[in-house]
Amino acid sequence: MSLENLFSLDLFSFSPLAWLAAAFAGLFFILVVIYSLNFMKGRKGLFRYYLYTVLTLVLTLGVIFADNLLLLVILWGFLGLLLYLLIGFGRTPSTPATARKALLIVGGTDAMMLLGLALVWFLVYGPGTGLSGLAKLSFSTVTIPVAGGLSVAAFLLLASAALAKAGAMPFHTWVPDMAEDAPIPVTAYLPASLDKLLGVFFLARISLELFILDSTLGIVLMALGSITIMAAVMMAMVQHDMKRLLGYHAVSQVGYMVLGIGTGNPIGICGALFHMFNHTIYKSCLFMAAGAVEKSMNTTDLHRLGGLAKLMPLVFGAFFVASLSISGVPPFNGFASKWMIYQGIIGTAGNGWTWIIWLTAAMMGSALTLASFMKLIHAVFLGQASPHVTKIAESSRPGTPFALAAPIAVLAVLCILFGVFADRIPFGELFSPVLAGEPVFPGLWSSTSATILILAGLFLGMVVYLLGSAGKTRSVAPFIGGEDLDARPSMRVSGVDFYSTVKDVKPLGVLFDWAERKHFDCYVVGLRFADFLGGILSGLHNGLLGRYVLWCLAGVVALYLALIG
């Protein structure tokens, strides 16, 4: 292979789906930059910050359009480093630890991806072709039917990188940490939007373009997805920091996408991809709203917030829309895609009884998501203002600057548009080539007419209320047990402990306890194990020369025994 041959390879392919993903990446880049103009103002190293942001966009576009696998792996790996550098702009004491954790999990799975790449090369070209064979692997020319251990291993290795990037279990633990420690625009940019696009898009491409999956692997993916949905949403329910809570939801929602891809039928896949796009919209909206709260209140601790709906009405409105969207309430976009995923799961009913589990997990997940957002909205926006909020509200009138408000508002509007007009989107055309043909919707569903019905219902309810009982209600100041709350701020219900009783349920309590001790965190468990081994080994290195000489002699004997046989 010479240099000319290298450049004549088809490095990129421009499918409609790739263009769509690229458009989203571009949109988020613009919104995040606008948002950062205000949010990051006055911090050090802003030139580097914007440089990394731009580089991230360029590399993301490269990965999205890449057809060549080697090129994709290289660009992909470099994105991990940029993630690390961008997290470094955080200002909490635990930022360095979080940056390390994120790059270790993402970079570690990239290394697994490398082994997967080598296996794909071995399966396709076999030995003897060397690097030039590796450089020829591309999505458009290679198709591997999954059969036998090697192809399964190759798929799982490549998928692990996708799952880590998207933040699905078991490689999810960096996402909540990062949500807590990294600057909000970075969280909104990477784990909430671009990394989701990259991870799920790549998972879809390897599951549907590169490999031909059998139903067993499909079930593995669906199981992973379901576990991700349930476990992460349970964790989200008991959080007491707004950003961290949202971080767990960023994990939980990936579960839907993995689940949808695992179904293997057009409507499920279509739903997964649609959910991916929807997720980027509502999740960045939520994070950016949290950032606006942080900016004006200097905290995201739920104990110290409350009553912000009056102070920040626009942020509250957008947050409310996005919350309904993530919880899968019609007619917002999250419902539209979740609906398709449910249909996809039901479509796998032919492969055994397991679909009931996945469907239950998906629906329960939505319900629990709604529950945890009720807690969040109560604690942050409704509820009673905490002394901290009251103090800030008295000393300065907190507003939301345009640069923060505009991206939030745009995203909230998109949540509505993508939901209401979901049935007008030509999925078959847009999602090719991953999706072969237009998905068929069973049953009767039209998002637009449903929206009209919902609005009509709301209107009707309003009319009934106004005509019937509006005059008979009375309004009083909030009270608990007969005590006036305004007079006794100490009796305030912050909402933090809404679901803490879930920990008292027998089997769940143990799991929560283990989760708190990080028994499920592959990063912590791995490092603990390595440290344990290291302890034994460094005990052997006691610095005594005599022992070292003995080792050498033992080594000589061992070599002799190995070679004499």
What residue ranges bind other proteins (CB under 8 A)? 1-3, 6, 44-45, 73-78, 80-81, 84, 88, 93, 95-97, 99-100, 103-104, 107-108, 110-112, 114-115, 117-119, 121-122, 127-128, 130-131, 134, 526-527, 530-531, 533-535, 537-538, 541, 543, 545, 547-549, 551-552, 554-556, 558-560, 562-565
Residue closer to other proteins by CB (options 436, 559) is 559
Q: How far is the CB of 73 from other proteins (least distance, A)?
A: 6
Is residue 377 within 8 A of residue 320, CB to CB? The reply is yes
Paired with 301 in beta bridges are: 241
> CA angle 389-393-395, nearest 5°?
120
Residue closer to other proteins by CB (options 104, 364) is 104
Q: How far is the CB of 157 from other proteins (least distance, A)?
A: 9
302 dihedral zone (left: phi>0; alpha: psi -120 to 50; beta) = alpha
Q: How far is the CB of 116 from other proteins (least distance, A)?
A: 10
Q: How far is the CB of 523 from other proteins (least distance, A)?
A: 9
> CA angle 292-296-297, nearest 5°?
110
Residue closer to other proteins by CB (options 482, 543) is 543
Q: How far is the CB of 521 from other proteins (least distance, A)?
A: 14
Residue closer to other proteins by CB (options 119, 238) is 119
Q: How far is the CB of 108 from other proteins (least distance, A)?
A: 4
Q: Which residues contact 465 (CB under 8 A, 6 or more apart)?
A: none
Residue closer to other proteins by CB (options 82, 361) is 82
Q: How far is the CB of 71 from other proteins (least distance, A)?
A: 10
Residue closer to other proteins by CB (options 487, 564) is 564
Residue closer to other proteins by CB (options 350, 535) is 535
Give the C-alpha separation, 69 to 12, whole Å: 10
Paired with 484 in beta bridges are: 479
Paired with 211 in beta bridges are: 144
Paired tokens of 97: 């630890």
Full 3-state SS string of 224-256: HHHHHHHHHHHHHHCCCEHHHHHHHHHHHHHHH
Q: How far is the CB of 265 from other proteins (least distance, A)?
A: 33
Residue closer to other proteins by CB (options 112, 371) is 112
Q: How far is the CB of 50 from other proteins (least distance, A)?
A: 17
Per-residue DSSP letter, 445: -
Q: How far is the CB of 232 from other proteins (least distance, A)?
A: 24
Helix (H, G, I), strand (E, B) or coil at 145: strand
Instruction: Tell whether omega for the bond before 489 is within 30 degrees of 0, i.e. cis.
Output: no
Q: How far is the CB of 522 from other proteins (least distance, A)?
A: 11
Radius of gyration of the CA atoms of the chain, in A: 26
Residue closer to other proteins by CB (options 128, 471) is 128
Residue closer to other proteins by CB (options 488, 528) is 528
Q: Which residues of 121-148 are buried (b: 16+ CB within 10 A; e: fewer)?
A: bebbbeeeeeeebbbbbbbeebebebee
> CA angle 267-271-274, nearest 5°?
135
Q: How far is the CB of 564 from other proteins (least distance, A)?
A: 6
Helix (H, G, I), strand (E, B) or coil at 300: coil
Is residue 194 within 8 A of residue 56, CB to CB? The reply is yes
Is residue 369 within 8 A of residue 363, CB to CB? The reply is no
Helix (H, G, I), strand (E, B) or coil at 5: helix
Q: How far is the CB of 417 from other proteins (least distance, A)?
A: 38
Q: How far is the CB of 294 from other proteins (least distance, A)?
A: 20
Residue closer to other proteins by CB (options 110, 177) is 110
Residue closer to other proteins by CB (options 109, 265) is 109
Paired tokens of 277: 């796009």
Q: Which residues of 410-437 are buried (b: 16+ CB within 10 A; e: fewer)?
A: bbbebbbebbbebeebebbebbeebbee
Residue closer to other proteins by CB (options 73, 389) is 73
Per-residue DSSP letter, 212: E
> CA angle 47-53-57, nearest 5°?
145
Contacts 24+ apart (CB under 8 A), 235-238: 235/176, 235/515, 236/369, 236/372, 237/368, 237/371, 237/372, 237/375, 237/498, 237/499, 237/502, 238/499, 238/500, 238/502, 238/503, 238/512
Paired with 212 in beta bridges are: 145
Element (H, E) at 480: strand 479-480
CB atoms within 10 A of CB 214: 14
Paired tokens of 439: 């998905």
Both ends of the chain: CA-CA distance in Å? Answer: 42
Residue closer to other proteins by CB (options 12, 122) is 122
Helix (H, G, I), strand (E, B) or coil at 398: coil
